[in-house]
Amino acid sequence: MSDIPRYRRVLLKASGEALMGDQGFGIDVSVVDRIAADIAEARKMGVEVGVVIGGGNIFRGVAVASKGGDRVTGDHMGMLATVINSLALRTSLVKLGVDAVVLSAIAMPELCESFSQRQATAYIDQGKVVIFAGGTGNPFFTTDSAAALRAAEIGADALFKGTQVDGVYSADPKKDPTATRYEQISHQDVLREGLAVMDTAAIALARENNIPIIVYSIHEKGGFGAILRGQGRSTLVADL
Ligand code: UDP
């Protein structure tokens, strides 16, 4: 097994829910510290890392819309939640001595820098971990779509989707004991079979830009580094 990482530059997508650990809401700092440690390991291997974090542990726009509220305002609140999570991850990375910066799709200069493709790429070239906050900056999108978009913009070799389970299954493995895990599946088949990997827009964007998606368990300590070394359990979503 080679120590040379499989990918040179990657985009890691972690859902907001991954950050809340066993709590029903918010941020469990010990969980964020562990995810930061996985990113630090990847940096030690020389892998360049961008990160997109969701906001579902704090707020989702649909929660407002489902109660008759304004969806756009709800989505703005959801995007703010991703900024909170991004600042938490930067704090954990800095504690570990990893150079990390938050770039937000929504300008809030007192808190962090604003996103531009040029600045993001420059920072990644310098070896900084770039955390993309604020999703795409637009309502009616998700942070999955933001992850596919930023992966394309920074020229990532792969998009890592950290989930609750260790890959893509034929059915929900928590509900159906006969569900089987795919080792590899095409973007097209994920779309055709409606498998819950990422939302449709994100899969389509990744496919159009030939970006493979690696679905793995974000709760597996060291899982990110293992997959980068060609080990570990995951599903590769890639067109053959
Ligand atoms: N959001 C948005 N535009 C974006 C990304 C996110 O409006 O480009 C809002 C939306 O309300 C969403 C919330 O931010 O529900 C949190 O993002 P997401 O649901 O993708 O988080 P995750 O499920 O990954 O925790």
Atom of ligand 1 nearest to the CA of 15: 24
Three-class SS string for the chain?
CCCCCCCCEEEEEECHHHHHCCCCCCCCHHHHHHHHHHHHHHHHCCCEEEEEECCCCCCCHHHHHCCCCCHHHHHHHHHHHHHHHHHHHHHHHHHCCCCEEEEECCCCCCCCEECCHHHHHHHHHCCCEEEEECCCCCCCCCHHHHHHHHHHHCCCCEEEEEECCCCCECCCCCCCCCCCECCEECHHHHHHCCCCCCCHHHHHHHHHCCCCEEEEECCCCCHHHHHHCCCCCCEEECCC
| 162 within ligand 1 shell (Cβ under 6 A) | no
Report pTM.
Answer: 0.96
Ligand 1: which of 142, 145, 149, 199 to mutate, most ligand atoms within 8 Å of CB? 142
| 133 within ligand 1 shell (Cβ under 6 A) | no
Ligand 1: which of 13, 76, 82, 86 to mutate, most ligand atoms within 8 Å of CB? 82
> What string of pLDDT tens digits covers the 240 residues of the chain?
567 899 999 999 999 999 999 998 999 999 999 999 999 999 999 999 999 999 999 999 998 888 898 999 999 999 999 999 999 999 999 999 999 999 999 999 999 999 999 999 999 999 999 999 999 999 999 999 999 999 999 999 999 999 989 999 998 888 999 999 999 999 999 999 999 899 999 999 999 999 999 999 999 999 999 999 999 999 999 987
- The CATH architecture assigned to 9-237 reads 3-Layer(aba) Sandwich (3.40)
Atom of ligand 1 nearest to the CA of 14: 24
